[in-house]
Chain A
Amino acid sequence: MKINCTRLLDELEHLKRGFGGSPRPLEQKLRALSHCKFDHAASLIRFHEALLFFRAYPPSAEVLKEVEAILKTFGQRVAQLRDADADLSPLDDPEVSGITATSVTSNFSYAIICWLAAQYPAQLSIDWDWFEEEERFARPCRVFCHARGRSDGRSACALSGLFVLRERPRE
């Protein structure tokens, strides 16, 4: 990132506190920043958050149009960072997560995972790197499962209990 892009970003953030003036300086900053390439996740995040602010509180139709045009480039901007082997871990911070072309990893609650599975079934995967204790699967097995011992081509799973979940008799 060139030094003037850093300065432009500072000035853009400063303009967030400047309601009521002419939108012209903001429009000029946005046009200039649209040509900037950010090579650090932290700068890209700052740019993203400032743009979201001006999309929420646009002082003019021109600003809104410019902001939305820049936001559409963020998928490409994130991809460029990834291709450059930049540290993308700041993008995972819950405070700023949700930027396009990134992901969120969490131990979502049962209610949320049911909603996600219904809404976005193709976008979910288990992050096994986080799963240090595979034996955790044993607990719900013990609590809820009785192996059926059926032979349906998935014999390994039939033995595991968890994967042949049966209802527990009502007490």
Chain B
Amino acid sequence: MVEAHVPYQDYLCSAKGRANEVVWLVERFKSLRISEKEKAEAYDALKIHVRWQFGVRASRTTMRLGTRKVFFHDRPLIARREVSLVDELNSPRIPLRRYLPR
């Protein structure tokens, strides 16, 4: 049966109660016992545009990783002629630290 002009927006508003509409919808998808790929396909098919009204801390304006030591760039940029590939390759290795995905 196909019914035209089904008021899904009204349904959503009614069904979500006092919950946030996006969070509520996401929870419905997450509760499905299907693969993550299928959930993603079903959600993406909706092509819902979501507005994220981010707070101050999540904005680029104030987002910043804390650091103990700030690097102050108080010297001219290095000119190309000052870079020696031989010296760089013979210099101590740059320490690497592996970060695991959260």
Contacts and interface: CB of A to CB of B under 8 A. Distances in A.
Nearest to B74: A59
Contact of B6 (A113, A131, A134): A134
A128 B12 CA distance: 12
A19 B63 CA distance: 24
Contact of A104 (B8, B26, B33, B51): B51
24 contacts: A20-B77, A52-B61, A57-B73, A60-B74, A71-B61, A106-B52, A107-B47, A107-B49, A113-B22, A116-B22, A117-B22, A124-B23, A124-B52, A125-B21, A127-B50, A134-B6, A136-B45, A136-B46, A136-B47, A139-B42, A156-B15, A160-B6, A162-B28, A165-B32
Interface residues of B, number: 58
A84 interface: no
Q: Which range holds the interface residue count of chain A?
A: 35 or more
Interface string A138-171: 1110011000000000101100101101011010
A134 B64 CA distance: 39
B92 interface: no
A23 B52 contact: no
B70 A103 contact: no
Interface in B64-102: 64, 70, 72-77
Interface of B: 2, 4-12, 14-15, 20-23, 25-34, 38-40, 42-56, 58-64, 70, 72-77
Nearest to A60: B72
A120 B95 CA distance: 35
Contacts of B73: 19, 57-59
B30 A123 contact: no
A125 B28 contact: no
Contact of A58 (B29, B55, B70): B70
A72 interface: yes
A97 B40 CA distance: 25
Interface string A95-130: 000111111111111110110110011111111111
Contact of A100 (B6, B15, B51, B62): B62
Interface string A52-95: 10010111110010000001101100000000000000000000
A29 interface: no
A144 B72 CA distance: 56
Q: Rank and list the top 8 A-B pairs by shortest CB-CB distance, nearest first.
A: A20-B76, A130-B49, A167-B33, A98-B60, A110-B40, A157-B15, A100-B59, A100-B61
